[in-house]
Structure 1
């Protein structure tokens, strides 16, 4: 008799991992996902649609609600698996899985426990991250590790590029680990939290550029929050200016001061930032060359 599985999933990682479980013949009895938010750009695939295609019941209520705990208890699952599910799963729900509750996290744990780990890794200039499958305990992203896969963060990678790499790594990890979990042979490696770090969530306003930072650090911010995320921004003559693509170059200038328009160069705390694609709020995104044709900005101070 197959192990019964309850899955909590959202986003592309959730879609791809649920797809992999189905491919491996897992007996997925119930899926929890989320309603898409009207305030969020939905660029990822739908877990709900995948579940529907395979005849798997899918609920969008909070898995921790009393009625949902009762549903899970009635199913008596062997495993509960979480793939980019956005709600913290309560200890009361975790204990309902007879053989264990596991989470797929988008970093190489114990580094970057917590929220939006891929964005933080790019913003902080990391050169690698990964995907980790671990047992869930009350403390977030702290349980024993079953398997993990590292990925490179190239110098020109955006957070979106890295997210796609991590998604592939997540599927690789699950493909290896699921047969071991079913067989009872999967490792349980204690996590050394002291060797890692924890990151909080990010809000759109966290993308404001501090021109006193180095060009490299500002570049990392830009690529860490560029499309499909809210974007890094500054102000030009009182208007919000989104910077979608940039690159650090050698040189010097007053932090925030536009020192050249061809190319479009701005002074920073160390080096210059070449802005390559940008957008005044409410306007269309333009290349730097098109932007300077219609907007006078030479010598302006961005703040």
Structure 2
């Protein structure tokens, strides 16, 4: 019997997956998103009304994924799988266990490496030469569920968050295309993560984007590339002025911001305050 599938998202990564499902001939039985007024300034925020109407898919708007109306609607629709992608709220056990087969998420690292938040910035700050996206069953831990599939992304040394976000988006689409049929017909075989190889990356705060003179050129360059669009951008404080830096280069002899071993040159920036 064909599985009934719901999808919760409020950002472009999720919409890209939804569009791919329909591109390959799939269908969804329920869409879930935030009310229009919530998270209006969230990076990549999208709205599902037009897609819902065009494809005749019921659309549920909830303040929180754990609201009782979510659980009641999943039961009413007889949902087997719930995708939760690009959704910042943590699904509690009752939501995770309401769909008959469970919930599916995506994480932009090769799990079990890089569990936690801010995976794209951390990947660049750490100078990794590869990352990836993991499709996995959600459980009550943080990015700890069984792996359904993974795809690797090779990283050039000068990659920016803008470029990596686009690669991550494309890889989400590829994973949906590769595993959709197996999810629908019930033939997927999720594999447990190897916890002995797990790493956890901490949450990042806006103030973590500050460029300071104690940095090396490598550290400053990585920071600028890691938190550029769609993220808030790196910044440098000069008295009362805040320089919001979106693109930069380094030079050992001269530049705009002195560093431990050279200078940062601000190629694209805004002055705030």
Counterparts of residues 179-194 of structure 1 (less than 5 Å): 179-194=181-196
Distance 2:48 2:151 in 1: 23
Distance verdict in 2 for CA 1:49–1:4, change over 3 Å: same
Distance 1:65 1:186 in 2: 29
Which ranges of structure 1 fall in alignment gaps of 5 or more residues?
252-259, 283-303
Counterparts of residues 208-287 of structure 1 (less than 5 Å): 208-251=210-253, 260=254, 264-281=255-272
Match 1:166 to one of 150, 168, 177? 168
Give the secondary-structure state (helix, strand or coil) at the position aligned to 1:146: strand
TM-score under structure 2 length normalisation:
0.90
Give the secondary-structure state (helix, strand or coil) at the position aligned to 1:40: coil
Aligned to 2:97: 95
Distance 1:269 1:277 in 2: 22
Give the secondary-structure state (helix, strand or coil) at the position aligned to 2:172: helix
Aligned to 2:52: 51
Counterparts of residues 100-115 of structure 1 (less than 5 Å): 100-115=102-117
Give the secondary-structure state (helix, strand or coil) at the position aligned to 1:64: coil
Distance 1:227 1:101 in 2: 30
TM-score under structure 1 length normalisation:
0.82
Aligned to 1:31: 31
CA contact (8 A) 1:41 1:228 kept: no
Q: CA deviation at 1:55?
A: 1.8
Give the secondary-structure state (helix, strand or coil) at the position aligned to 1:107: coil
Which ranges of structure 2 fall in alignment gaps of 5 or more residues?
none
Structure number with the bigger relative contact order (C-alpha 8 A, sep ≥ 6) is 2
Q: CA deviation at 1:179?
A: 1.1
Give the secondary-structure state (helix, strand or coil) at the position aligned to 1:28: coil
Q: Which has the larger radius of gyration?
A: 1
Q: CA deviation at 1:265?
A: 4.1
Distance 2:102 2:114 in 1: 23
Deviations 1:177-197 (A, max 9, x none): 111222333231111233232
CA contact (8 A) 1:17 1:171 kept: yes
1:75 aligns with 2:77: yes
RMSD (CA atoms): 2.1
Give the secondary-structure state (helix, strand or coil) at the position aligned to 2:28: strand
CA contact (8 A) 2:44 2:230 kept: yes
Distance verdict in 2 for CA 1:36–1:164, change over 3 Å: farther
Distance 2:263 2:249 in 1: 9
Aligned to 1:294: none
Q: How many pairs align?
A: 271
Distance 1:56 1:24 in 2: 17
CA contact (8 A) 2:39 2:45 kept: no
Distance verdict in 2 for CA 1:2–1:39, change over 3 Å: closer
Aligned to 2:138: 136
